[in-house]
A and B are shown apart, each in its own frame.
Chain A
Amino acid sequence: MFEEKSIIELVSSLENSFQEILSIIKAIGNNKRLKILLTLLTGEKTFENLKKETKLQKTALANHLIKLMKILLIEKPDYGKYKITSDGELFIRAMENAYKYSDIRESKGMEVIQRGQFSKDFVDSFFGSS
């Protein structure tokens, strides 16, 4: 799915598409819009379905949908139904993929596994020797 580019090629490619990429990040970087995208990953939804699932007011939901449609992450092929585009799915999958192999996830995982306190037995043996 991903082509390996050198750092120079990567920077150049990102710089050439800077505004477009920034618009996509801004569109996804909102908890309600991300929720809409995730909801649409499971299938087409009506405005009412989305309103129910996102718990958004009518106007707010309409605004978020317009933003996502404008950037072609979702579309509305049939009257009343919204659908994630192949680009929308591609970006969500890329994010999930990057996170899955990231150090952030790794360190959070380790943090959860390792967290804890001394047992009473250990405290007693460690400090209780006076």
Chain B
Amino acid sequence: MQPTIIENKVFKLLGCVFYGDPFHSAKEWTYENEISKLWVRFGRVLEKNYNLLNKIFIDSKVGYELHIEPKEFKETKKYYVMVAMEIGNVQEIPLEMYIKILPKANYILYTTTVGNKFNEGSYIYNKWIPENGYQQAFPYIIQGYVEQRYDPKTGLNNPNNEIDWYIPIKKIELI
């Protein structure tokens, strides 16, 4: 699918956070790694606080997975992962959850299937973005899981499930 540009978007997310190497005990894209465990934890908090959270979430059918690279990643191999949903204005949230307001940014949005997420993801990041005169604006990436296109029951085992990718971008600065 051809990438599209979303302008001046501010993601305000509410969810659970992990910091560390999410693959220290299990490989990428398996159900045993820390990211999968984080989704399970998020699901539990969601279930426990459904009445409150249902009013807060903008669309409870869309989940987001935010990956932030901190400055020390090179030495530690640790980074932040947040699994979350988008919110509007809130007064109170469950203690186990955190709110993240990302900077206002333009995003490239593209969709891949689970089956070719790495090939297409890598192509967009490494080729499409620079070839179209853009560069990454902030060191994070967001994956979006829309329930109609990503069936949580089959998840990563269904190669046709789709994942949306949001990368904050800016025009390449010519020096």
Contacts and interface: CB of A to CB of B under 8 A. Distances in A.
A binds B: yes
Contact of B125 (A110, A114, A123): A123
A121 B74 contact: yes
22 contacts: A114-B103, A114-B139, A115-B137, A116-B136, A117-B135, A117-B136, A118-B69, A118-B136, A119-B73, A122-B69, A122-B73, A122-B139, A123-B125, A127-B121, A127-B126, A128-B118, A128-B122, A129-B28, A129-B118, A130-B118, A130-B119, A130-B122
Contacts of A111: 103
What is the interface of chain A mostly: helix, strand, loop, or mixed? helix
Interface of B: 28-29, 67, 69, 73-74, 77, 79, 103-104, 118-119, 121-122, 125-126, 135-139, 141
B69 A110 contact: no
A99 B159 CA distance: 52
A24 B169 CA distance: 39
Interface residues of A, number: 18
Contacts, number: 47
Interface of A: 107, 110-111, 114-119, 121-123, 125-130
A111 B28 CA distance: 31
